[in-house]
Amino acid sequence: MKAFLPVFVIFLLAALSLYVFSKKNNYNYFHIKYFLWTIYCIITAVILYIILISFNFNQSIYIFDLIQVFHLLSIIFFSLHVESALKGYMVKISFSFFLIVGLFLLCILINNELISLSNQNKSYLYFIHNDNYSFKILFKLISILILTTSLIQILVVHLPRSIFIKKKTQYFFWVTSFLFITLAQSLFNTLNYFNFFNFNKTEIIFVITRIFAFLSVTILALNPSIVYYLPKIVKPNNLKIKMFDKIEFIIKTNKFYLDNNFTLTFLSKKINISKRNISKSILSNSGKNFKEYINDLRIEQSIKYINNNFLEDYTTIALGEKCGFNSHQSFCRSFQRNTGTTPKKYSTTLLSS
């Protein structure tokens, strides 16, 4: 009977994954891929949970650990899905995500080793007992807190100006609701583990935990407007808006121009538009070639830095590098062409006025 709800959740998520997979194409794969991985991780965690409660294993702690790992992975993939959907291209899995998972696995190994030592010698590390998961639970709570805070920050910054997500209010509510329930569930589990609630009945804890888990899945899977809308979040070249607006939005939102290694080839691969069409669109709308257009954006940024008194503490060489120029000469030439003066003279005039 205990397995009924988890089995129902699996069927629900399986149906969702089949629907989303059927709608997957070359235009929405950049974020749908991460969303599908989110669902697969949750399904795996639920299957492991069913195994845990249905069979009597001597090494059930390892199954519990796997459940926690897949749950953490599901939140990471959900974060990648949201960020990709907002930015219009598939974001790479950053080192910080690998670090979080790696440290969590390390916590598992350390915690299990301490439990093993405490079983062998009851006087050793007296504060460790057989079912002690304190390291893992605390680290998982901290990891989820970091992930949710980071994702909400990305959501707040990028959602209002995103040209890829039209249903901004619904999408914001969907993401934040899922994150809130996930964080609340982890916080409840942690506080309960350290006897914050003083619950005497295990059944009450069991029911509350399952309610949290079911709510998170319900928010993820049973929002018709969002589930139907997700596959419609597509790459820039499939949006019915002016191509130059897409290109400019991608460049400015992600501030690619501040990277001195930023090239036309890189941009073309990111947004799936040919180099020729990008160059043609920029030229026809701005009257500049790609290099001139990017350098002008860099100069705009350098002026903002100068207005904020950047040159009071740093050199013009440092300013040029910070704005994406490979050489000081190139920076000065571009600045002179745009403003009619040098960065140093511009700063001096600004200060005198």
On whether the 4-234 domain is CATH 1.20.1070, my answer is yes
- Maximum CA pair distance of the chain? 79
The reported pLDDT for the residue numbered 133 is 58
Give the helix ranges, DSSP H, for 235-308.
Answer: 243-254, 264-271, 275-286, 290-307
What is the architecture, at CATH level 2, of domain 237-352? Orthogonal Bundle (1.10)
Q: From CA 109, how far away is CA 111, in angstroms rounded?
A: 6
Instruction: Burial-class residue 99 by CB neighbours within 10 Å (0-12, 13-18, 19+).
Output: exposed
Predicted pLDDT of residue 12: 86
CB atoms within 10 A of CB 187: 15
CA atoms of 218 and 233, how far apart (whole Å): 21
CB 283 within 8 A of CB 289: yes
In the chain, CATH 1.20.1070 covers 4-234
In the chain, residues under CATH classification 1.10.10.60 are: 237-352
Question: Per residue, what are the HEC states of 293-342?
Answer: HHHHHHHHHHHHHHHCCHHHCCCHHHHHHHCCCCCHHHHHHHHHHHHCCC
Q: For 123-156, give the secondary structure using H, E and C.
A: CCCCCCCCCCCHHHHHHHHHHHHHHHHHHHHHHH
Cβ contacts of 350 within 8 Å, gap of 6 or more? 306, 307
Gap between the Cα atoms of 147 and 307, Å rounded:
34
Q: How many CB atoms lie within 10 A of CB 155?
A: 21
> Would you call 88 helix, strand, or coil by DSSP?
coil
Output the CA–CA distances (angstroms, integers) from residue 227 to 32, 174, 234, in the order listed. Answer: 11, 10, 14
| pLDDT of the residue at 62 | 80
Q: What is the pLDDT along the chain (353 residues), one digit of tens a residue?
A: 556 778 888 888 898 899 999 988 888 888 999 999 999 999 999 898 888 877 766 667 788 888 889 999 999 999 999 999 988 888 888 888 999 999 888 888 877 666 555 555 444 333 334 445 567 788 888 999 999 999 999 999 888 878 788 888 889 999 999 999 988 888 887 877 777 766 555 566 667 777 777 788 778 777 767 878 888 887 755 554 577 887 888 888 888 999 989 999 999 888 878 899 899 888 888 888 999 999 999 999 999 998 888 888 888 899 999 999 998 899 999 999 888 888 888 888 876 76
Report the pLDDT value the prediction gives residue 122, as an integer from 0 to 100: 45
Task: Please give the span between the terminal C-alpha atoms of the chain, in angstroms, as a whole number.
Answer: 78
Query: CA–CA separation, 176 vs 244, rounded Å?
Result: 31
Q: What letters, b where the CB count within 10 A reaches 16 and e where it falls short, cover 206-238?
A: eebeeebbbbbbebbbebeebbebbbebbbbee
